Chains A and B, each alone.
Chain A
């Protein structure tokens, strides 16, 4: 079957005639699928104009660094939430308020690679309050507030090389976890030969405590672990909710050509950590305080300006025999995902180089720990006997199983990368019951309401890595696709195939009615605590302090106040503090100044944002509103006169001759 499929693919890509390709594109129907006819599929995803989708889908941006928001099942694109990358569309990472969010111990970083969004949970179900997402490259975790769909906080993770196994929350949002993908010398900035890998390099698993009221993050402790690669993680559920699990690969401890050198053992490990026990040990003084440098960036108050708090130490717990909080479970080679079923009992690893999908049992794992069924120890960590924890191996899952989610009705769905398909299998018999193609090369998949105790398993979204012939061609590089499947029946059925933004790795979907009651329509002016807010037009003004000029400006349909400014000089640093005085939903104003080496700034109703501008030439500089705000939007403009550095033009401002 796999051969047939790859032949079909190759034929489509390279050999087929125009009609074959055209028919494929126009019908959107793969040839050999269990596929609804177009009309039935269209009805299932049709959401009438003005009506709303049933689910929010949050798709990571991958190398865009952002998080995109979609309505499901229609696949309406709703917005991009900028997180780890600058976004000139909104001014995120360009405005003075948001620039501090992108500060790290390495300085200002305009980009990252965002992989795994995870919605905060209460009692093991997504509660829709916040969504956390990891930065893979310069290790960080961000918190996005789902009242405003804005990034409110970013925490850097010290001693971490690539925060990939992140940002998964525990079932009552006690912790969000992170881990090093690339082991590195644990002590900061240690300059050692790379071939001292086994001696000097170590992994760090991060446990970030979450404030139950605000969702704010605090680095609680790290666990020092052997120098493997830590790939993905998940928290337990129900009976296993005190535990988190990480996959490891490269237990060979290779530091070069991992493709070959990290594929030699026949098993790697799932690390099982009792986080409650680890936290207790830390509370009782088992940890060690080590120096570290990492940034914690967040807003103080309602909005205002993000601040940087630089931390200089972290608590580190090094496993020792007899502490009983961390174990390794051997699992078939190079596992990617480690996924916990809704009951909390089954721990499914996706061994991308394995021929089976291994299913471990949480209760058997506890028995094995109790009875000390260890096959060895590594760096103070007991290695459990494979046969003691395994409860099933799913045969014939396709080539390269990666990630699994569950429907809560007794079935699991695993994405299979190399053979590019999704397999559905039974948690009772561990046998494959259905399979369906993915277009092409599927990475993660997600089920609506997935990774919770009560999945709302209507739909499944497959996040695939290459589009090739699926859409109208857009050059050598095309956007990554996603496919929506109906999984409410016995067979999976493909409903929709749509291009996404960036390179989605993982996504989560939540019932919209959990989120929408809390979504804000405006920033209430009475609650604007920005230090440079302009809350009444009579206070519009300009203040000069040496070379620093602060313009306190307001916007209302359809004018700025002030809109005529004189007395700015070359060499000044000008801050335009623009307050949008509108209190009506979705009435946004923006500002752009000719020649400013900056992006525009968009300002939501009731919000204050600041554009920094350093004029380098004399002259008259027009500025205007960038958001089409009203019938008189085109009249919404102003002029700033810039004079020579030694000029004595007085600082004046006016609007409408007042």
Chain B
């Protein structure tokens, strides 16, 4: 029986070579295009300062809109607060003063495109190295992210 083994191995190899060969040509161009882009050089000046994501233009936060603040707070407590303190780091960075450190567009893009931000943006990459947990997308829509920005802006004003 032992003497059959090399024969079987050979048989297996012979049978599998054509199978692998046949499958080798199936790689689609779609897949080749989906490689992550990691080169910072491709980022625009806007993206470098305000993040990569669906927010591509500057946003005015003028007079505080208290309805929007209430909406933003509601979403923040449901979808953000389990990982962020207002003061002091937790799973992620503190957010009580985030509006001092980042633009509202940057915050919104991080909420709306967290995986893109940690993969492609130098600040996102740095944050991932520091916190070791990638921020998840929490199914927040663009207008909801805008309301969260309004709330964090308001929080910062009220507490400083």
Contact = CB atoms under 8 A, between A and B. Distances in A.
Q: Do A and B come from one complex?
A: yes
The winner among B83, B137, B139 for most chain A CB atoms within 10 A is B139
A554 interface: yes
Interface in B6-65: 8, 11-12, 15, 18-19, 22-23, 26-28, 31
Given A39-B19, A42-B19, A46-B26, A630 B78 contact: no
Interface stretch (A116-124, A356-364, A452-460, A579-587): A579-587
A54 to B, nearest CB: 15
A556 B82 contact: yes
Contact of B1 (A18, A584, A606, A631): A18
Nearest to A521: B139
A42 B31 CA distance: 21
A324 B52 CA distance: 71
B4 A536 contact: no
Contacts of B83: 556-557
Contacts of A630: 133
Contact of A46 (B18, B23, B31, B90): B23
A574 B160 CA distance: 43
B15 A581 contact: no
A48 B18 contact: no
Nearest to A559: B91
A557 B79 contact: no
Contacts of B132: 631-632
A26 B8 contact: yes
Contact of B139 (A46, A50, A522): A522
A525 B22 CA distance: 46
Contacts of B94: none
B79 A525 contact: yes
Interface in B110-160: 132-133, 136-140
Contact of A537 (B4, B11, B82, B133): B82
A633 to B, nearest CB: 10
Contacts of A38: 15, 18-19
A556 B11 contact: no
Contacts of B82: 537, 554, 556, 561, 581
Contacts of A606: 139
Contacts of B138: 582-584
B81 interface: yes
A537 B77 contact: yes
Interface string A9-23: 000000000110011
Nearest to A631: B132
A500 to B, nearest CB: 23
B98 to A, nearest CB: 18
Given A18-B4, A556-B82, A584 B136 contact: yes
A23 to B, nearest CB: 8
A6 B151 CA distance: 77
B131 to A, nearest CB: 10
Interface in A451-510: none
Contacts of B31: 48, 50
A630 B4 CA distance: 47
Contact of A536 (B77, B133, B140): B77
A355 interface: no
Interface in A14-48: 18-19, 22-23, 26-27, 38-39, 42-43, 46, 48
A46 B19 CA distance: 10
B32 to A, nearest CB: 11
B133 A631 contact: yes
A43 B81 contact: no
Nearest to B139: A583
B150 to A, nearest CB: 18
Contacts of B79: 525, 581, 583
A48 B32 CA distance: 13
Contacts, number: 82
A583 B137 CA distance: 7
Given A524-B139, A538-B81, A48 B22 contact: no
Interface residues of A, number: 38
A531 interface: no
A527 to B, nearest CB: 11
Interface in B75-110: 77-79, 81-83, 90-91
Contacts of B8: 22, 26
Contact of B137 (A48, A561, A584): A584
Interface string A571-610: 0000000000111100100000000000000000010000
A587 B114 CA distance: 15
Nearest to A632: B133
A154 interface: no
A438 B91 CA distance: 56
A546 interface: no
A322 interface: no
A42 B20 CA distance: 9
A184 interface: no
Contacts of A524: 139
A630 B133 CA distance: 7
B78 A48 contact: no
B134 to A, nearest CB: 8
A535 interface: yes
B120 to A, nearest CB: 18
A536 B78 CA distance: 4
B23 A535 contact: no
Interface in A262-305: none
A48 B15 contact: no
Contacts of A526: 78
A517 interface: no
Contacts of B12: 26
A48 B26 contact: yes
A465 B137 CA distance: 46
A656 interface: yes
A558 interface: yes
B80 to A, nearest CB: 9
A558 B91 contact: yes
Nearest to A523: B139
B16 to A, nearest CB: 9
B139 A525 contact: yes
Nearest to A27: B15
Contact of A39 (B4, B22, B78): B22
B23 to A, nearest CB: 5
Contacts of A26: 8, 11-12, 15
Interface of A: 18-19, 22-23, 26-27, 38-39, 42-43, 46, 48, 50-51, 522, 524-526, 535-538, 554, 556-559, 561, 581-584, 587, 606, 630-632, 656
12 contacts: A26-B12, A39-B19, A42-B19, A48-B28, A48-B31, A524-B139, A525-B78, A538-B81, A559-B91, A581-B79, A584-B136, A630-B133
Given A537-B81, A631-B133, 5 more contacts: A23-B11, A46-B22, A48-B26, A525-B78, A630-B133
